[in-house]
Structure 1
């Protein structure tokens, strides 16, 4: 894939996910799908043989690691912006709000900052880094949201949707 197709895929995923997060949704409604999309994105990102700039391999690795760590942090922050509640029938629900949108904007700004830092250091950054980062963001958010939902039931495990 080209960098343009990576960006278009990322934009489509973001629009889909944010749109879904801003509506109330059952947390137990979609079994195991919470893991599928993030893993597909991570695999798509890792498939790129030029993920690290061969001329600046060490710097590129540090940039990638730093960006993935901050992306995981943003996934945690995003998961905490989502309201989780149990209805009278026992079903768990979730819904993002204004803070969720700000968490997404923050994640995008941070991603742009990492690209800017890489450009300032003359490190080529593959478009696949965007897909990899998005996969890490979604996976982290889903894991933290599952954990939070489990806390409502005293630690019981739940299979949640992405």
Structure 2
């Protein structure tokens, strides 16, 4: 797949994920985990995550990117409003803070990309896919976990599954 096509695909998937997060949705159907997993695996499979000319530096930057992706996903998950309906079903919806966290996530990703460029690392579509897949997956997992915990606290452990 061409770099332009991959970038467009990433933007479309991220837009879809963000759109869904601002709609009321059951917390027990984490479609975003599947999307995150596909992006992550696609990024690893596409290669280019490690720059062969600067392997140590690129692995170090990849480690930083992975930690940042996890932290940003956890931050966005914490901004999602969750509640139980009358039947004990857990529901989730993004807040204005979720949007702020998404904007910060995009800015941080651009900053990491520019840092890699400044360090002389070759740009990698695979690295972007891994970052986006990891951050989306972590957020989806944590929101689903909060939903399960909320339902269990209400005595409805069978209501929310992942």
Instruction: State the TM-score, normalizing by the size of structure 1.
Output: 0.90
Give the paired residue count: 158
Structure 1 residue 43 corresponds to structure 2 residue 45? no
Q: Residues of 2 paired with 1:130 and 1:49: CA distance?
A: 11
Q: Is the 8 A contact 2:148 2:161 kept in 1?
A: no
Q: Residues of 2 paired with 1:6 and 1:77: CA distance?
A: 26
Equivalent position of 2:161 in the other structure: 159
Equivalent position of 1:85 in the other structure: 83
Following superposition, the deviation at residue 34 of structure 1 comes to 4.2
Q: Residues of 2 paired with 1:136 and 1:73: CA distance?
A: 10
Q: Is the 8 A contact 2:49 2:124 kept in 1?
A: yes
Equivalent position of 2:97 in the other structure: 99
Corresponding residue SS for 1:105: helix
Q: Is the 8 A contact 2:27 2:90 kept in 1?
A: yes
CA RMSD in angstroms comes to 1.7
- Greater mean deviation of Cα atoms: 3-12 or 145-154: 145-154
Equivalent position of 1:7 in the other structure: 7
Structure 2 gap segments, 5+ residues each: none
Q: Is the 8 A contact 1:52 1:125 kept in 2?
A: no
Q: Is the 8 A contact 2:77 2:140 kept in 1?
A: yes
Structure 1 residue 19 corresponds to structure 2 residue 35? no
